[in-house]
Amino acid sequence: MKELELANRFDGQRPQLRAVAYRILGSVSEADDAVQDAWLRLRRTDAEEIDSLERWLTTVVARICLNMLRSRRTRGEQPLESLRPEPIIDNPAIGTDPEHEALLADSVGIALQVVLDTLRPAERLAFVLHDMFAVPFDEIAAMLDRSPGATRQLASRARRRVQGTAPAPNPDLTCQQAVVDAYFAAAREGDLEALVTVLDPDVVLRAHRRDGDPLELRGANTVAQGAMAARRFAPYVRPALVNGAAGVVAFDGEQPFAVLAFTVVDERAVAIDVFNDPELVAKLDIRGITA
């Protein structure tokens, strides 16, 4: 097979491969690195001997991602690499960028990515590949060097963790945006009672930081009081889609300094994820949102 033909076939698989890698790794830049590594490996392989290029590439990308996950735990995190998940930003007036749609299919919201980041590498791989991409357990087992039964158990444990801590968001984006708008309207007006009404009683606010686990506030009253303490920033937020869900980008003048992602269930926010590390925010593609 000529290299141009091989490159064209690889490019046809690239969106799917990026989606697999992003959901396993939680980082667009790392996902792109994994996909590029898969291309280099393909070039060194006799493609004529590959029965199914799609299956082969998915397996290679998954193995690369698994090694990257394991490497995170053994080498210690580099400062910026520890900031995950890496949110994907779009302008709600325009809609989701076509390149982002493949990454965000099946509602891969920030709350889900946060939970995935807490899973062990093998659990994360088994859950993502089977539950999100319908890869059979026997194929995943070969990647993990485990039996299909053991691999099924890994995915089951991960599934229970996800279902218990990352509820499916309201699919109605208009409803999501109404909750976000009401939250910041109440913050601007200093209306604590109105803030509490748009928050789930068990809401969690996570401030993602460079070192260690996110800092958390739990409970509607606690989160509402935190919003009151930061109310001076409320006039400077602009609507955004964050991993396909309603959120905002906060500005200081013309410079973005924070991204807030909301998970809305039953017309209340159940989770708010705050990303305000300067290096991470500078790294994100926020060009479609203006102050």
Same domain, 235 and 271: yes
The two tokens of residue 175 are 């409803």
Same domain, 141 and 190: no
Classify residue 178: in a domain, yes or no.
yes
Same domain, 15 and 53: yes
Residue found by looking up tokens 């919201």 in the block: 109
Number of domains composing the chain: 2
Q: What is the pLDDT of residue 183?
A: 96
Classify residue 291: in a domain, yes or no.
no
SS3 165: helix
CA–CA gap between residue 187 and residue 234 (Å, rounded): 6
Q: What is the pLDDT of residue 102?
A: 64
Q: What is the pLDDT of residue 108?
A: 59
Q: What is the pLDDT of residue 74?
A: 60
Helices H / strands E in the chain, number of each: 13, 7
Same domain, 137 and 213: no
Domain-terminating residue out of 109, 137, 165: 165
Compute the radius of gyration of the chain from its Cα atoms.
Answer: 20
Q: What is the pLDDT of residue 51?
A: 86
Residue ranges in the chain modelled with pLDDT below 70 = 1, 73-84, 95-99, 101-108, 210-213
SS3 163: helix
Model-level pTM? 0.83
What's the domain range around 269? 173-283
All residues at 6 or more sequence positions from 78 whose CB lies less than 8 Å from its CB, including other chains:
none
Same domain, 9 and 151: yes
Same domain, 129 and 187: no
CB atoms closer than 10 angstroms to residue 151: 26
Q: What is the pLDDT of residues 102-138, one digit of tens each?
A: 666 555 578 888 888 889 999 999 999 999 899 999 9
Classify residue 270: in a domain, yes or no.
yes
SS3 72: helix
Same domain, 126 and 187: no
Query: Which CATH number covers residue 48?
Result: 1.20.140
Same domain, 160 and 181: no
Same domain, 275 and 246: yes
Same domain, 197 and 143: no
Query: Which CATH number covers residue 189?
Result: 3.10.450.50
